[in-house]
Amino acid sequence: MAVLGLWVINKAGGLVYQRNFSDGLAPLTQNEFLVLAGTLHGIHAITSRLSPAGNSSGAQVIEGESFKMSIFLTATGTKFVLLTTLADNTADLLLPKIYEAYADTVMKNPFHTPEMPIRSEGFDTRMTALLGPPTK
């Protein structure tokens, strides 16, 4: 019952923020995270066209054997990806709060360039308060 990681992907598919919270995930290099985020972005785009019923927003939850990935797509194309353990159901509550913290500390920050990697102390503090201290 834990949050394992958070990724924020911009509308072009580039990873702008990544943080690990517990030791449940295998350690990866920065480059591997960038590749994974880009792959996820592509898969999400494909799944939005796969629905037989017409309008589809793309994959929202991807479950594996030991983890669950919840994807929150905003109206502007930014994706918030929360990696949690299988038993964790709090992703639906946490993702809107993460989006709110993003709107507050990243969008209102004059020193942040949109679509660029997030280097904001305010966002880090809010994420620590919401999800716990990061692990390396």
Given the complex with another protein, which of 86 and 107 has the nearer CB atom? 107
Tell me which H or E stretch contains 69.
strand 68-73
Name the minimum Å distance from CB 20 to another protein.
21
Given the complex with another protein, which of 17 and 70 has the nearer CB atom? 17
Name the minimum Å distance from CB 18 to another protein.
18
Torsion sign over Cα 82, 89, 65, 131: positive
Instruction: Please name the amino acid found at residue 62.
Output: I
User: With contact defined as beta carbons under 8 Å apart, do 6 and 98 qualify?
Assistant: yes
Angle (nearest 5°) at CA 122 between 57 and 42 = 25
Given the complex with another protein, which of 46 and 107 has the nearer CB atom? 107
Q: Kindly list the residues in this chain that would bind another protein in the complex (CB under 8 A).
A: 104-105, 107-112, 119-123
Tell me which H or E stretch contains 133.
none
Q: Which token pair is 2?
A: 């834990």
Given the complex with another protein, which of 21 and 123 has the nearer CB atom? 123
CA separation for the pair 42, 59 (Å, rounded):
11
Name the minimum Å distance from CB 23 to another protein.
28
Name the minimum Å distance from CB 111 to another protein.
5
